[in-house]
Structure 1
Amino acid sequence: QAGMITRPVRERSIETIAAMVENGIRKSGFEEVGLLSLSSADHTEIGEIAKGLADRYEGSNVSLSLPSTRVDAFNITLANEFSRNGRRSGLTFAPEGGSERMRKVINKMVSEEDLIRTVAAAYSHGWRQVKLYFMVGLPTETDEDVLQVADLAKKVIAKGREVTGQNDIRCTVSIGGFVPKPHTPFQWAAQLDHETTDRRLKKLRDVVREDKRYGRAIGFRYHDGKPGIVEGLLSRGDRRVGAIIEQVWRDGGRFDGWSEHFSYDRWMTAASLALAGTGIDVDWYTTRERDYDEVLPWDHLDSGLDKDWLWGDWEDALAVADGSSDVEIEDCRWTPCYDCGVCPEMNTEIQIGPTGHTLLPLAVV
């Protein structure tokens, strides 16, 4: 959703980023700097930014980090700049779909070969820990798509052991539940029910743990499906959901984002009370697929995206899923306009480098 509603791409300048980092360090007292954005490694001058910041803070206690990195945007030089001060944390990559079919459905064109080649480079240059992030519950997903997460993790461990000659290689698999969001091509999609989500995750966990050769080297983190259903209710609900939220609060709901305070039963009881007599229930908001003609609760809000363009993208995803199409949508920064509607309607335009500027060291005060 963030990648849709924040269009078009606009990069902060290298000087602006440097000033923000310095200001944050001086005024907060923190010494850890994370360069966070939707896809930080896509910045056209990320290499210059990394080197400039590493030069500036070399010899200090300031550590630099890059969050989850796209497989096809990663390179060892960049990673080395961020770990130059000696703090070498694990690397995080986000294939998102367990199978190549699922990655094509969500237009995440990362092949298994790309991932293996990238982690091989990381392991061979001294990294011992890699984290892979996936989603379960993507449209048209099957059990087999999810189980391929285990196959991918095993291949990552095998490649790490091969290139290093060591067995102290770790791979952590982190899995989040997919929740369709407004203003995206998947706003019409059905969300996976929590029973199927939990069953698939249990099957995946068992497959990993039963593997005598690689199981111990693979960490497994995930959330069960019930919180995702509540998130789906809040994500695509209409104004009637306001009564549910109020009822949960009146029943004692507080800090529900924390697992120790979350109560699925409290949310479902509140929903039954608040929706009584309306003819709809939680499933109507979450696990039901919508069609083009349905008036959606957020249709009166304009993010600049053309509805027909979003619907076309949704149809393309379904066509890729059933094998009737192999369409790939390239990044519009490097291709002709796809006519999503944002730039002309919002009077904006893509703003990217490279600028050719460098980050000079700070003058001594």
Structure 2
Amino acid sequence: MSHPVEIDPILLTKVSKPARYVGGEWNSVVKDHDAVKLTVAYCFPDVYEVAMSHLGLRILYALLNERPDVAAERVYAPWPDMEDVMRSQGYPLFSLETKTPVRDFDMVGFTLQYEMSFTNILNMLDLAGIPLFAKDRGDDLPLVAAGGPCAYNAEPLADYIDVFFLGESEESTQVLADTIIAWKEQGKPGGKKGLLKQLSQQPGNYVPSFYEAQYDEQGDFQGLTVTEPGAPAEIEKCVVSDVEHVFFPTKPIVPNIDIVHNRAVLELFRGCSRGCRFCQAGMLYRPVREKSPEHLADLAKQIIANSGYNEISLMSLSSADYSCLPELVDQLLDEFKGQKVSVSLPSLRVDSFSVDIAKKVQQVRKSGLTFAPEAGTQRLRDVINKGVTEEDLLAACENAFQNGWSTVKLYFMMGLPTETDEDLAGIADLAYKVLNLYRKVTHKNNGKVTVSVSSFVPKSH
């Protein structure tokens, strides 16, 4: 039986945002570990505000906690000030729900959302007192697992992780829980390796210790050879075929402090039909699978009732591509009439249809519009297969300015393959063109164009 970590409240007053570490949020699930058969620590290798905004982890958290035999709890990376306190006072990394040390869980799962967080994973294992290398962890330590988009290129983390899950895990997570519970009840036959052998037979699971990596003289990765009899030579990702009926959480955890995306979220569809060359998600989450507007409206009603949020975000890789968007928006606006609940779209396609939809959704609360030209010149937009012209963008902005918008946000990337100085200068030119267009359309000087430029991160595949 493990003892919860008890942190001196006085110490908590010395760190920024103590609410990151205390738990107790509305809709969080606290269970007695002695009353369940499996305990899972879901770790997001980033700070609370980022981690709490992530939909994938919310889905898996709620999915496992629906089961009476499983307790799933959240673990996030502490901010450096809190990490100093933990290391100096000897506090191990702990879960938010029951303050249980991470090393006392049956399974520790990390989500791999972006490569820059890989070092946080190692730091969290170290804070938890768990040996970094999989080969150094005995049968008494938790199974360390990882999934998410970066799991498709697992090799940089292969030495540290016991098992990777490739693809969408709503269905495979249930199989995983059943497998671990059965293995525990049978007296853990074959130890951790016995469990990994079973898991390696299930779709989408990659167990690095059952393979050996080959590298050439330059140190470039050549491939994997199977070293454990029975491990599959190829691993296929899991895909949820029926997204209409797949589990979706309707009781989101409501944070006690503001987070990056502090609102209710609806996932309209999986996948994307666009095929932009720089977009990892557009490639990984194929094919496109939509949910019906009726089902989405019903989910929205439950989520708002259970959370008290006053904004619902329609989220997907390209939400304006949802085929039933006009009907859904009408249903939502009708449903929440008089409740002051607004509907928001993350970023819009550069066409007039999007602006018309935006006009409709912003009856309750007006916010800025976001467009993503991605590159400053047509040549580079063609290279990345973006399929948006300057004319498209200016026409959409003109439509927006005529309809009363005065702020536009433009998203770009720098460091794209074949980029020249001219392409970068094009970003500034395009921003000024949009600003001048505002002056021309409205004869006013209060327009605002925000330019956001992120670095392109190359993907291995």
TM-score for the superposition, normalised by structure 1: 0.49
Higher helix share: 1
Larger Rg: 2
Higher strand share: 2
